[in-house]
Amino acid sequence: MTQPGTPERPLRVAIIGSGPAGFYAADHLFRRKDLIIEVDMFDRLATPFGLVRFGVAPDHQKIKTAIKPFEKTASNPNFTFYGSVDFGSHLSLEDLKNHYHQICFATGAQTDRQMGIEGEDLAGSHTATEFVAWYNGHPEYRDHVFDLSAERIAVVGVGNVAVDVARILCRTPDELAKTDITDYALEALAECNVKEVYMLGRRGPAQAAFTNPEAKELGELQGADIYVPPAEAQLDPLSQAYVDESDDRKLLKKIEIIQGFANKPATGKARRLTLRFLVSPTELCGDSAGRVVTMKLVKNELLDDGGRLRPKPTGEVEELPVELVFRSVGYRGVPLPGIPFNDELGVVPNEKGRVTSDGTQATTGLYVTGWIKRGPTGIIGTNKPDAGETVACMVEDLEHGSFNKPADPTPESIRSLIEKRQPQYVSFDDWRRLDQMEIAAGAAGGRPRVKFTSVEEIQSALNKS
Ligand code: NAP
């Protein structure tokens, strides 16, 4: 029998997850002009594009143009989208093996790392991902409630997600009204009482994980003054020694931006965003109703640990009164049914994207790309070369005859299985209709779109309920 990849016998690939990693993988596959490849992409959510829709901040519309090439990929006649189809409940690994030569997981990192401190689960303490998913209209988070009557809010972590959360909390209603933030979030944020937002970095300015354009934007908010305690803007001796030797211009710029904030006079805006460094939360303390009222912090110093500067508590402590806490200390992958998982790293063990059962032995026909492969690092574009590496392995394995031997690889057979298991699945044409409806709904208010935020709304708009 001929190898799959010919017009008579196309290579059938399933990609699980329709965020950037999944779409870049599809694109790399379609670029192989020597092979006929059919890609079926599955997402447990009704709508495609993963974190571009539910993660990228609503006031960062330019970043959302990343979907343009994905729309082009989706218009390939060999591409099929099955939205609202959940791997693990609607389809098992065995089902996929019965229908596809290769299966690539691009499921991202769907949960958060824990801080591991007392009081982390008190009322008023949330993960940043919950808040981000809420204001972005993720159907599973739209009913979350955040007590925005709080005047003082702490965001733990100084990565770009923490910056997004802090910035959204500091934006004025007018600034937010021009975005595609959900109406319920717009309303709640317009009424919020916040006066102080603290972003807390456990290491120093030189180790801040945020990127420079995002940091700079914090100094340009209409409704909030930025502040950095001058002593915390200074570099500790180890960081200073590193910086003195470094020609990393981005790093030097980052320090300049942060130190500029320390010298920026307050202009009497309604809110203040304070960036703190070298502090770690050690405990969240609650009132008698179990609501956060205070965060205990310890001052850190930095320690050289084999070339990496790590935070070490000094014993100097302080209490920061805060009524709401967002923990933004990084995302974490979740295990996939039937697929090996490295619990320590929160990723699927793999070698360049080939899923490995014991860390070395490749598992035939199974691949990963994106955050579930390498962990939650990098920007959207980082997923492109990452997917390229995985697809190169897929093609190499195909050439060596190493792929699943599905009993029934025809597109019709998987479609009829899905119609049986999830008759309300959403196709890419369905999504195009939803997209047009959302854009039309936004046009009246001069907004990019007004999102559908529940499965029921989506099904009803598509006449599927
Ligand atoms: P991140 O960049 O890894 O930042 C995590 C932050 O949490 C770091 O400051 C880290 O400090 C801190 N942290 C970790 N454990 C901690 C603990 N136990 N206590 C206190 N602080 C702790 O992760 P992220 O912000 O979730 O972003 C994920 C990825 O998405 C990043 O690559 C980011 O650039 C990207 N992203 C990009 C954009 C954009 O381009 N606009 C927007 C959002 C996200 P240490 O450095 O000390 O570990």
pLDDT values of the chain reduced to their tens digit, one per residue, 465 residues: 678 999 999 999 999 999 999 999 999 999 999 999 999 999 999 999 999 999 999 999 999 999 999 999 999 999 999 999 999 999 999 999 999 999 999 999 999 999 999 999 999 999 999 999 999 999 999 999 999 999 999 999 999 999 999 999 999 999 999 999 999 999 999 999 999 999 999 999 999 999 999 999 999 999 999 999 999 999 999 999 999 999 999 999 999 999 999 999 999 999 999 999 999 999 999 999 999 999 999 999 999 999 899 999 999 999 999 999 999 999 999 999 999 999 999 999 999 999 998 667 779 999 999 999 999 999 999 999 999 999 999 999 999 999 999 999 999 999 999 999 999 999 999 999 999 999 999 998 999 999 999 999 999 999 986
Q: Compute the distance from residue 315 Cα to the ligand 1 centre, in Å.
A: 25
The reply to whether ligand 1 has any atom less than 6 angstroms from the CB of 202 is: yes
- The reported pLDDT for the residue numbered 62 is 96
With a 6 Å cutoff on the Cβ, whether 377 touches ligand 1 is yes
The strand pair at 308-321 and 292-305 is best described as antiparallel
170 touches ligand 1 (CB under 6 Å): no
Counting ligand 1 atoms within 8 A of each CB, the residue from 112, 130, 160, 258 with the most, and so the one to mutate, is 160
Tell how far the Cα of 274 is from the centroid of ligand 1, in angstroms: 17
Going from the Cα of 122 to the center of ligand 1, the distance in angstroms, rounded, reads 22
How many angstroms is it from 201 CA to the middle of ligand 1? 10
Task: Report which protein residue has its CA nearest ligand 1's atom 13.
Answer: 329
Ligand 1: nearest atom to the Cα of 55: 43
Q: How far apart are CA 28 and CA 385, in angstroms?
A: 9
Relative to the CA of 311, which ligand 1 atom is closest?
A: 47
> CB 290: neighbour CB atoms within 10 A?
11
376 in ligand 1 pocket by Cβ < 6 Å? yes
Q: 29-47 burial string, b = 16+ CB within 10 Å, else e?
A: bbebeebebbbbbbbbbbb
pLDDT tens for each residue of 205-253: 999 999 999 999 999 999 999 999 999 999 999 999 999 999 999 999 9
Cβ of residue 331 lying under 6 Å from some atom of ligand 1:
yes
Q: How far apart are CA 264 and CA 281, in angstroms?
A: 26
Distance of CA 329 from the midpoint of ligand 1 (Å):
6
CA of 149 to the centre of ligand 1 (A): 26
Q: Is the CB of 36 under 6 A from ligand 1?
A: no
Residue pair 29/21 in contact by the 8 Å Cβ criterion: no
Write the residue with the smallest CA distance to atom 11 of ligand 1. Answer: 157
377 CA distance to ligand 1 centroid (A)?
A: 8
Please give the single-letter amino acid code of residue 251.
L
Ligand 1 pocket, 378 CB below 6 A? yes
401 CA distance to ligand 1 centroid (A)? 41
Q: Is 233 in the pocket of ligand 1 (CB under 6 A)?
A: no
CA 160–ligand 1 middle distance (angstroms): 6
Residue 156 CA to ligand 1 centre (angstroms): 10
Determine which helix (DSSP H) or strand (DSSP E) holds 362, and give its type and residue range: strand 362-368
Choose which residue among 51, 131, 379, 383 to substitute to test ligand 1 binding: the one with the highest number of ligand atoms within 8 A of its C-beta: 379
Ligand 1 atom 25: residue of nearest CA: 159
Nearest CA to ligand 1 atom 46: 209
Nearest CA to ligand 1 atom 4: 159
What is 266-285 written as a DSSP string? P---SEEEEEE-SEEEEEEE
Q: How far is CA 425 from the centre of its chain?
A: 24
DSSP state of 6: S
Q: Is there an atom of ligand 1 within 6 Å of 161 CB?
A: yes
40 in ligand 1 pocket by Cβ < 6 Å? no
**H-type helices in 117-222, by residue range?**
128-135, 160-170, 173-177, 183-190, 212-218
Ligand 1 neighbourhood includes 160 CB (under 6 angstroms): yes
Give tens-digit pLDDT for 132-160. 999 999 999 999 999 999 999 999 999 99
pTM summary value: 0.96
Exposed/middle/buried for residue 25 (C-beta within 10 Å: 0-12, 13-18, 19+): buried
Residue nearest to atom 36 of ligand 1 (CA): 160
Specify the ligand 1 atom closest to the Cα of 330.
26
Assess contact for 35 and 101: CB atoms under 8 A. Answer: no
